[in-house]
Amino acid sequence: MENSLSERDKQVIWHPYTPQKYAATPISIAKGEGAYLIGTDGSRYLDCISSWWVTLHGHGHPYIAEKIYRQALQLEQVIFAGFTHEPAVKLAERLIPLLPGSFSKIFYSDNGSTSVEVAIKMAVQFWWNNSVFNRTKIFAFRDAYHGDTFGAMSVSGKSIFNAAFEAYMFEVIYLDVPRENNLEKNKELIDEFGAETACFIYEPLLQGAGGMNMYEAAQMDLLLNYIRSKEIICISDEVLTGFGRTGSMFAGEKIQNKADIICLSKGLTGGTMALGVTACTAEIHEAYLTDDRSKTFFHGHSFTANPIACSAALASLDLLTEISCQDQIKMIHRKHLEFGKKISGAGLHEGLVQNFRVLGTIVAFELNSTEKNYLNQSAAGLTSAALEHFIFIRPLGNTIYLMPPFCITSNELDTVYDTLIGLLQKNAR
């Protein structure tokens, strides 16, 4: 008898973020359709986390698929040093006016982590190119997550994600996520190290992998005002928050102080292709306009500005800017707020469920626990129970969150909410 796909997988595949000794048998997926992942056995799972936060318009969207197909027939790949192509230029032309700030140039890479690597190197070399050699330190937020490559790990918070590599990472000075009572504490660190600091990298309004931590734009503006007074380059990591996730096109639209460099990926292509973008202001780019060839930005990727990926991104932008998509984003936000009322009405709020919060299309809360971290397994049972109801969630420790594709319907959201409330009530008994 031929082994199933899941059994074959376990013989040869090492999955990400998966403890190897206790790895569960993976679910075999044959097809994606709208908000659903369809198993090889025909089961239909409602994808409530957009397949790791990337899928905007649903799986197998025919419009994006058609654009990918047409581009693959015309030009599938070309070296991007010394060559260019229409999809890359057109995407940059469309992105720059949409970005929250005065951006001038687009640098392409492969994914969110590499877009952060580009941003850090771009900022650090800016000072080096300008013969300012004491600006070597970096500010970042505690509990941040910016990726799994070494530079991105270095500017992420110290955690189990990177503990084994701490000796290999460069120095970072950690600020607290801005709250009403911690500005002065942050100012003390900025005063102490600001003159030596090259850049500050932050996730605007939402720390994703850190536990869906949300914070207010007004508090962020106070912090950015002070950081900008020290002439520190500001890098906004919108890999997760970009393209409608927080309600607006970009989270940075809600913050008055704009970034000098911005990082994009995940929803950039609607979740269909790997692509990263790092955009910078004219001032940053000007440091590289020099006759000195040693001051070139020596960075690139084999698949930089892949034409198929750029075409997918253009197609995703077409869909994202349609009124119907914007209406869906508003609907999801409204339904999440109603979900909070349902949880409260079910007697779960501030009991089993704590810290209920909503930002755009994202809703999150914690299961009652004294420990909030990635290794907390108090939500593991909820994950498996939800799968029995064909609903796919993937908690961050004891943080439960939903981040559905924009194509999800009101009725489908009600099904998810009612199922979760029922499971939580069962768990509370």
pLDDT in tens, 311-338: 999 999 999 999 999 999 999 999 999 9
Burial 315-344 (b: 16+ CB within 10 A, else e): bbbbbbeeeebeebbebbbebbeebbebbe
Q: Is 240 helix (H, G, I), strand (E, B) or coil?
A: coil
Read off the pLDDT of residues 96-106 as tens digits, 9 standing for 90 and up.
999 999 999 99
Dist CA 230 CA 19 (whole Å): 43
Listed residue (221, 243, 224, 244) closest to 233, CA to CA: 224
Read off the pLDDT of residues 21-32 as tens digits, 9 standing for 90 and up.
888 889 999 999
pLDDT > 50? residue 1: no
Q: Is 395 helix (H, G, I), strand (E, B) or coil?
A: coil
Confidence at residue 23, expressed as pLDDT on a 0 to 100 scale: 81
Confidence at residue 428, expressed as pLDDT on a 0 to 100 scale: 67
Contact, 401 vs 362, CB < 8 A? Answer: yes
Confidence at residue 369, expressed as pLDDT on a 0 to 100 scale: 66
Tokens 């939903």 appear where? 402
Confidence at residue 160, expressed as pLDDT on a 0 to 100 scale: 84
Query: Catalytic residue at 145?
Result: yes
Read off the pLDDT of residues 43-94 as tens digits, 9 standing for 90 and up.
999 999 999 999 999 999 999 999 999 999 999 999 999 999 999 999 999 9
* Partners of residue 213 on adjacent β-strands: 207
Cα 248 to its chain centre, rounded Å, is: 15
* Partners of residue 366 on adjacent β-strands: 354, 399
The pLDDT of 8-37, averaged and rounded, is 92
Read off the pLDDT of residues 266-292 as tens digits, 9 standing for 90 and up.
999 999 999 999 999 999 999 999 999
Read off the pLDDT of residues 102-126 as tens digits, 9 standing for 90 and up.
999 999 999 999 999 999 999 999 9
Query: Catalytic residue at 237?
Result: yes
Tokens 């909820």 appear where? 382
pLDDT > 50? residue 162: yes
Per-residue DSSP letter, 59: B
Of 36, 45, 145, 417, the active-site residue reads 145
Mean pLDDT, rounded, of the chain: 95
Q: What's the pLDDT band for 19 if we cut at 50, 70, 90?
A: confident
Read off the pLDDT of residues 229-269 as tens digits, 9 standing for 90 and up.
999 999 999 999 999 999 999 999 999 999 999 999 999 99
Read off the pLDDT of residues 345-381 as tens digits, 9 standing for 90 and up.
888 877 788 899 999 999 999 987 656 666 666 677 8
Of 17, 63, 69, 168, the active-site residue reads 17
Dist CA 260 CA 95 (whole Å): 15
Of 254, 258, 266, 335, the active-site residue reads 266
Sign of the C-alpha dihedral computed for residues 282, 284, 288 and 289 taken in this order:
positive
Dist CA 291 CA 8 (whole Å): 56
Sign of the C-alpha dihedral computed for residues 69, 70, 73 and 74 taken in this order:
negative
Query: Catalytic residue at 191?
Result: no
Please give the share of the chain, as a percent, with pLDDT higher than 70.
97
- Within 8 A by CB and 6+ apart from 321, the residues are none
Listed residue (407, 427, 422) closest to 46, CA to CA: 407
Of 47, 143, 237, 260, the active-site residue reads 237
Mean pLDDT is highest, among 155-164, 288-297, 348-357, for 288-297
Confidence at residue 161, expressed as pLDDT on a 0 to 100 scale: 86
Could you tell me the domains of the chain? 5-61+323-428 (3.90.1150.10), 64-320 (3.40.640.10)
Contact, 139 vs 173, CB < 8 A? Answer: yes
Read off the pLDDT of residues 375-408 as tens digits, 9 standing for 90 and up.
666 677 889 999 999 999 999 988 999 999 999 9
pTM: 0.96
Read off the pLDDT of residues 186-238 as tens digits, 9 standing for 90 and up.
999 999 999 999 999 999 999 999 999 999 999 999 999 999 999 999 999 99
Query: Catalytic residue at 292?
Result: no
Confidence at residue 208, expressed as pLDDT on a 0 to 100 scale: 96
Span between the terminal Cα atoms of the chain, in Å:
43
Confidence at residue 374, expressed as pLDDT on a 0 to 100 scale: 60
